[in-house]
Homo-oligomer: A and B are copies of this chain.
């Protein structure tokens, strides 16, 4: 055993408890997956604090950043936003409503389809998402400070290998058959 690499986190304790209670089970998958979940929760919290300076909530950033990434003219349909943010259409209607009231997006009729609407970033929306993104990156950089560049590359690679099969399955189901979800 390479014994004391030990910073030791909560997951070490959880795994130890399970091994004591269920010695018959191989709980080693928790070593990876439980850490992923807990780390994600921390990231959400950290993200929230990064955004609060910009008067943004996490959900708002999700929507605005999807529009920003889309590039000029920063327009997507509610349906496309639903796909990218993994929420339901009802939720997206509500989010766009609130962002519209805040002045960060506008609704415009889709010239090519009168059923449709296009959600477009306003200049104010673009400003806020750009500065929030800069802060977010800065903060995330500090979260990664424990790791060398090589570590990060390896971590990204390992995570991609876990993620890719999960997403290709969904891609085939989602992106092709229906256009929404």
Number of chain copies forming the complex: 2
A31-80 residues at the B interface, CB under 8 angstroms: 31-33, 35-44, 68-71
Q: Is A23 an interface residue (CB 8 A)?
A: no
One digit per residue, 1 when the CB lies within 8 angstroms of any chain B CB and 0 when it does not, for chain A 155-170 equals 1111111111111100
Between A29, A144, A152, the greatest number of chain B beta carbons within 10 A of the residue's beta carbon is seen for: A29
Alpha-carbon distance between A39 and B164 when the two chains are bound, in angstroms: 10
Query: Chain A, 75-104, contact with B by CB distance < 8 Å: what is the 0/1 string?
Result: 000000000001000000000000000000
A39 contacts B159, CB within 8 Å?
Answer: yes
A159 to B147, CA, bound (A): 10
B157–A5 contact, CB under 8 A?
yes
Inter-chain CA distance A21–B67, complex, in Å, is 11
Q: Is the CB of A161 within 8 A of B7?
A: yes
For A137, list chain B residues within 8 Å (CB). 25-27, 29-30
Chain A interface SS verdict (over half): helix
Q: How far, in whole Å, are A160 and B71 apart by their CA atoms in the complex? A: 36
Choose from B11, B40, B43, B162 the contact partner of A143 (Cβ within 8 Å): B162
Q: Complex Cα distance A44/B41, Å?
A: 12
Determine whether A179 belongs to the interface, using a CB cutoff of 8 Å to chain B. Answer: no
Contacts of A3 in B (CB 8 A): none
Interface 1/0s, chain A 114-157, versus B by CB < 8 A? Answer: 00000000000000001001100100110110110001111111
Chain A residues with a Cβ under 8 A of chain B: 5, 7-12, 14, 17-18, 20-22, 25-33, 35-44, 68-71, 86, 130, 133-134, 137, 140-141, 143-144, 146-147, 151-168
